[in-house]
Structure 1
Amino acid sequence: MVGSRAATAAVGVALSLLVTAALWWYFDTLLVFLLVPFVPFLFRRLGDDGPTVVQECPHCGFQATVESYDYCPRDGSRLEPRDGAN
């Protein structure tokens, strides 16, 4: 029996190959195989600079991006709110 992850992966690979073959047929060039790896960049959010740092360790510089951290996992110091956060 095939698990749901394996079935999802198989459908994804089949769909990817189908789209690639369709683009190859439409543009009639093998250059489409060079362009396909860059498709994820088209769906990336513009202006997204990464996660927002909420708290920071005053000793080692560890930066937490969620408020659930109270202490630094490296040295055990209490995290402080970062300037400009909240």
Structure 2
Amino acid sequence: MVGSRTLTAAAGLLVSLLVTAALWWYFDTLLVFLFLPFVPILFRGLGEDGPTVVQECPHCGFQATSEAYDYCPRDGSRLESAER
């Protein structure tokens, strides 16, 4: 049985290969392969300032951005609400 994460990764890879092949065919050059890896860097940081820290470990400084954590995965301490 294949998980949803695997299917999502496979679909993303397939779409990426199709877009790359289309750009290669349209521009008729392999230079598109040099540019495509940098596309995610161009769009990094658009739309939000960063994750909001919800809870923090008082001992090691681990910061959780989701309320799904109750305990620190590093040392097992109970997380405290971050005051920021």
TM superposition score category, shorter chain reference: 0.5 to 0.7
- The corresponding residue for 1:83 is 83
The 1:9–1:67 alpha-carbon spacing in structure 2 relative to 1, beyond 3 Å, is: closer
Query: What is the TM-score when the length of structure 1 is the normalising length?
Result: 0.58
Q: Detail structure 1 runs of 4+ shifted over 4 Å in the superposition.
A: 3-6, 42-45
The 1:46–1:10 alpha-carbon spacing in structure 2 relative to 1, beyond 3 Å, is: closer
Cα deviation per residue 1:21-68 (whole Å; 9 max; x = unaligned)? 332233232211101222334554515344221111212212122223
- Aligned counterparts of 2:61 and 2:11: Cα–Cα separation in 1: 43
- The corresponding residue for 2:10 is 9
Identity %: 76
Q: How many residues align?
A: 80
Structure 1 residue runs of 5 or longer lacking an equivalent are none
The 1:21–1:71 alpha-carbon spacing in structure 2 relative to 1, beyond 3 Å, is: closer
Query: What is the TM-score when the length of structure 2 is the normalising length?
Result: 0.59
